[in-house]
Homo-oligomer: A and B are copies of this chain.
Amino acid sequence: MEKWDTVAIVGVGLIGGSIGLALRERGLARQVVGIGRRTASLRVARQIGAVSRTTLDLGRGVARAELVIVCTPVGQIAADVRAAANACRIGALLTDVGSTKAEIVAALEGELPRQTRFVGSHPLAGGEKSGPAAATADLLVGRTVIVTPSAATHDDGIADVAALWSSLGANVVRMPPVEHDRILAGTSHLPHLTASALAAATPEHDLPLVASGWLDTTRVAAGDPELWRQIFATNRAHLLTALGRYEQVLATLRRALERGDEAKLVEVLAEAKRRRDAIANSM
């Protein structure tokens, strides 16, 4: 892949920091500028080598960038992309890493100034850790990045963004933003909701007797409540649909327990195991 001259990363946490590290270690960018709101985070990003220079000023940070990657919280992405588009090089490429896509893409569609091109992305990577200190150059290697063009997205922008993620070792999948949000409601947002419900429903005095099953099942509930509120808020309808499917399965399990319907219990547990094993075996 062609080398970028200047890449700007807005928000250098786990994902932004990892992208910076990967770009630099792979020699894909001459210069990576880290833009953030907290001096302490920017210092860490510089120290681990994720970025070559940093600034608190978005306009100045993106001024020479031909590629801008926005890694801020979902509720802030559209505004940050718009601000960056107003200040970066003419014709620059912009993308983001937000966990929901329809609202962001709709807000930016056909709207950007100065011949800049925006294509939404969502890397399926991360976890319960956060901040640049947890960043690694191989965070995206072998992971899936979903690129979400709309009917209005220019073809060359799509190809360039897909090439960016491929160059960092990821597998790229393309789909419309609404389709992304519909699927991720079930594969990412609902798991967070159920994990949080489980943690919140566990009596506090029983917590010393949780074992590895509880720890796994509630792990993502350690995520930032405000970040997840924004994700839920921007994918409400799909999340409610996925929750409805889940509530039905849970009601089936409750009925089977109440009636002592052992055959039904085993049927649902076996179906769950089949789906879980299908993934475990392919990852």
The yes or no answer to A71 lying at the interface (CB within 8 A) is: no
- A interface majority secondary structure: helix
Q: How many copies of this kind of chain does the complex include?
A: 2
**Do A194 and B196 touch across chains, with their CB atoms under 8 A apart?**
no
**Do B250 and A194 touch across chains, with their CB atoms under 8 A apart?**
yes
Instruction: Please report the total number of A residues contacting B with Cβ < 8 Å.
Output: 86
With beta carbons under 8 angstroms apart, the residue of B184, B198, B206, B215 that contacts A246 is B198
**Do B184 and A276 touch across chains, with their CB atoms under 8 A apart?**
no
With beta carbons under 8 angstroms apart, the residue of B184, B194, B257 that contacts A194 is B194
**Do B183 and A206 touch across chains, with their CB atoms under 8 A apart?**
yes
| Given A225-B270, A225-B273, A212 contacting B253 (CB threshold 8 A) | no
With beta carbons under 8 angstroms apart, the residue of B217, B224, B240, B247 that contacts A217 is B217
The yes or no answer to A279 lying at the interface (CB within 8 A) is: yes
Contacts of A154 in B (CB 8 A): none
| Given A232-B265, A249-B197, A265-B232, A187 contacting B202 (CB threshold 8 A) | yes
**Do A217 and B216 touch across chains, with their CB atoms under 8 A apart?**
yes
Contacts of A192 in B (CB 8 A): 213, 217
In the complex formed, the residue of B with least CB distance to A239 is B257
The yes or no answer to A159 lying at the interface (CB within 8 A) is: no
The yes or no answer to A210 lying at the interface (CB within 8 A) is: yes
